[in-house]
Amino acid sequence: MRLSRQIIPYLFLLPALLLLIVFNLAPTIATLVESTFIMSLRSGHRVFAGFANYERIFSDPIFWKSFEVTTIFSLLVNPIQIALALALAVLINQRLPGIGVFRSIYLLPIAVSLNVTAIVWGLMLDQNSGMINGILIQFGLPRQPFLHSVDQALWSIILIASWIGVPLWSLFLLAGLQNIPPTVLEAAKIDGANAWQSFTKITLPLLRRVLAFVLVADTVANFLMFAPILLLTSGGPRLSTNLIMYETYRRGFLYGDLGASSAMLSVMLIIVFVIIGVELYVLRGHD
């Protein structure tokens, strides 16, 4: 009787934790292990190769180009999304008539999958007959190549990712804004602070935790950007949108080089852990 009572919590945990261990935790470790093997999807032979896969990817200019593109993408997309998400959160946090309707409409992109977003925006940005060019020529501006241009393709991907990303992250920031006691802001107002002062001196510091979370979650999500590349650019033109997640897919599943693919994924895994580690460190430091 006593024993059975003790095992109840473990029985409750068993199904979900077993599934998490088998399908999530084990593959995380296996990614690191797999990166030390050379294996082909076709022959099925695996041979231990030490760091050979890492040597191969680190001496491969396509990997470095992909790393560079991903870094540039991250440095652009994350600040843009977070700045716009913060602006949007402040806007939809205003007490205005009809604000509920606006909030509901801003939820729409969050429900839509990245694939659908990529398909629709891909057609909107079509270089010959897309709506964006249709609007540009109505204003007498020249047509733009967008996804077909080395200079504009990555920006087009940023636009597509942000159409979902900005409303999504603004929800977190809105929740953070609503957690700030109104009395604090009223007190600042009474003390003569203008809107900008109370935003920078009171709102932003109080949003620190949520902002840190959003920064990390957004960085990780964009680091794994995949569907728009697969559906729209295949990494091109001239590798200008060859983000690292797409490169791992190309290597692993199109060319069957799972070793190189796993080595890249391991590098990404380590980067993700570093990003999360920094977040935990920053958040812990101030509590």
Partner 1 sequence: MRVESAGLRQDLPGHSRKQNRKPLRAFAQPALAYCLLIAGIIIVVLPLMWAAAASFTPNHKVFEYAYPFSWRALFPVDFTLEAYENLFARGFGRAVRNTFFLAVSTVIIGGAANALAGFAFGRFEFRGKNLLFLTVVMLTFMVPVDLTAIPRYILVNSFGWINTWQGLLIPGLANSLVIFLFRQFFAEIPQELIDAARVDGATWLRVLVSIIMPISKPVLVAASLLMFIGQWNSFFWPLLIAPRKEMRVVQVEISLAIGQYGTVWNELLAGSMIAAIVPILLIIPFQRYYVQAITGTGLD
CB 153 within 8 A of CB 240: yes
Rounded-to-integer distance, Cα 85 and Cα 172, Å: 9
The number of beta carbons lying within 10 Å of the beta carbon of residue 138 is 8
- Non-local (6+) Cβ contacts of 264 within 8 A are 57, 63, 244, 247, 248, 251
Amino acid at 92: I
Segment near partner 1 (CB under 8 A); pick from 47-55, 67-75, 106-114, 144-152: 106-114
Q: Which of residues 195-214 bind partner 1 (CB under 8 A)?
A: 209-210, 213-214
Give the shortest CB-145-to-partner 1 separation in angstroms.
14
Give the shortest CB-240-to-partner 1 separation in angstroms.
20
Segment near partner 1 (CB under 8 A); pick from 48-56, 59-67, 89-97, 147-155: 89-97
Please identify, using beta-carbon distances, which residue of 77 and 221 lies nearer to partner 1. Answer: 221
Considering the rule CB under 8 A, would residue 260 count as an interface residue with partner 1?
A: no
Q: Is 90 exposed, middle or buried (0-12, 13-18, 19+ CB in 10 A)?
A: middle
Among 86, 241, 245, 246, binds partner 1 (CB under 8 A): 245
Please identify, using beta-carbon distances, which residue of 24 and 59 lies nearer to partner 1. Answer: 24
Considering the rule CB under 8 A, would residue 287 count as an interface residue with partner 1?
A: no
Considering the rule CB under 8 A, would residue 274 count as an interface residue with partner 1?
A: no
Q: Which of residues 222-241 bind partner 1 (CB under 8 A)?
A: 224, 226-227, 230-231
Amino acid at 234: S
Q: Which of residues 5-64 bind partner 1 (CB under 8 A)?
A: 6, 8-10, 12-13, 15-17, 19-28, 30-31, 33-34
Q: Distances in Å between the alpha carbon of 153 and those of 39, 137, 147?
A: 34, 20, 4
- Non-local (6+) Cβ contacts of 93 within 8 A are 174, 177, 178
Considering the rule CB under 8 A, would residue 192 count as an interface residue with partner 1?
A: yes
Q: Which residue has the tokens 């580690």?
A: 277
Give the shortest CB-52-to-partner 1 separation in angstroms.
17
Give the shortest CB-241-to-partner 1 separation in angstroms.
16
Rounded-to-integer distance, Cα 243 and Cα 67, Å: 7
